[in-house]
Amino acid sequence: MKRIAVLGAGNGGQTLGAHLSLMGHSVKLFEHPDFARTVEAINSKGGIELYGSIEGFARLELVTTSIKDAINGAEILYLVAPSFAQVPIMRMSIPYLEEGMKIILIPGNFGSLEILRILKEEAPGLDVTLAETDTLTYACRMDEPGKVNVWGYKKGLSIAALPGKRTGALIEVISDCFPIELRPADNVLEVAFSNLNMIVHCSTVLLNVGRIESTGGDFRFYTDGVTPSVGRLQEEMDRERIRIGRSYGMDLVRALDWIRSIYPVSGESMYELLSGNPIYARHGADAPKTVSHRYVTEDVPYLLVPVDCLGEASGLSSPVIRSVITLLSTVTEKDFLSEGRNLGKLGLEGLKPEEMMSIIRGERNSKGGRRQS
């Protein structure tokens, strides 16, 4: 039995916390004080009910808005929160972090790099292991706080530690307290580049803007929203993603192959694979109600922007990805390129690709000196 803190009590956090508790682990669940009503509702029920692909009522050790109480005594911290919440939650956590803690971002979306930069500034000398996965564990929807419909879950997730040389040891520690298979990736850059939300979410919203605004999202996002033309845009964005990844020494899996590997689907195009996915098709209208949805406000600044910036740093342009960023910035009245996870926020500004990869793998620190461990 491991002592675990799950930070974030949205759909994914409640499901993970409850699932791990049902597996026999000691779990504390934290939610930001701004969402105290969620904590109150769960505590009033005495736990969390999961139904669907996972069945059971989980009684957690603690559900709280106190980050100190949640982290105290924990060996492993699973940060399951939207990308925009990762840094605020970690800043709240810093005074209570202890040497040797394992902090896993689910999903990471390049967040481990930004958090490492902050830890170097605000807690110099503290040795914790950061890591991130490529996506969420579950496809789920919260009916109400404390009750989650679990539609399904992935066959496995990719994970890497920061620095990358710690990945094997990290998986040894957490493999018995994670509900699905963890597949080691070479480094966190490879993991973040593998989050295909940037491909499937952003493009589908962009090409369905009129439909979203006129119907309030009254359509099936993948089943109805992904047409052959949408699929072609996704495939070109994917080619740019793979080309940029190759410039950093990464041999990334095509979106087509990845989707076939984790879902019970078959097809030769993104259109065929996404529109025919039974996990999503059977749940009725599930499209965003507005364009200012996390499919845009999270996936553009925290995924597409760093990919585009890393491409630029390696001398590669990504005209389709940049166009999607520009158009979605325009329709949401945001400046995602400056607000998102650019190289400055990742602590990689001014570095050559080989210097970035040396830091990410753990061969040197961001000051240029050699690491000792």
- Known catalytic residues are 201, 299
Q: Which of these, 37, 76, 82, 308, lies nearest to 172 by C-alpha position?
A: 76
Q: CA dihedral in degrees (301, 307, 311, 316; nearest 10)?
A: -90
Contact between 15 and 50 (Cβ < 8 Å): yes
The Cα–Cα gap between 176 and 155 comes to 15
- State the Cα–Cα distance between residues 256 and 268, nearest whole angstrom: 7
**Are the C-beta atoms of 146 and 48 separated by less than 8 Å?**
yes
Distance of CA 99 to the CA centre of its chain: 24
List residues bridging with 50 in a β-sheet: 56, 148
Q: Residues 296, 202: contact at Cβ < 8 Å?
A: yes
Q: Encoding tokens for residue 21?
A: 């508790």
Render 24-68 in DSSP notation, one character per residue.
Answer: T-EEEEE--GGGHHHHHHHHHHTSEEEEESS-EEE--SEEES-HH
The residues that bridge with 105 in the sheet, in sequence order, are 79, 132
Q: Where are the alpha helices (DSSP H) in 72-166?
A: 83-93, 111-122
Question: Do 313 and 219 contact (CB within 8 A), yes or no?
Answer: no
Q: For residue 13, what are the contacts with CB-CB under 8 A and spacing of at least 6?
A: 6, 7, 29, 31, 78, 80, 81
DSSP character string of 173-239: HHGGGSSSEEEE-S-HHHHHHT-THHHHHHHHHHTTHHHHHHHTS-S-TTTTT--HHHHHHHHHHHH
Residue 163 three-state SS: coil
Largest Cα span, the chain: 58
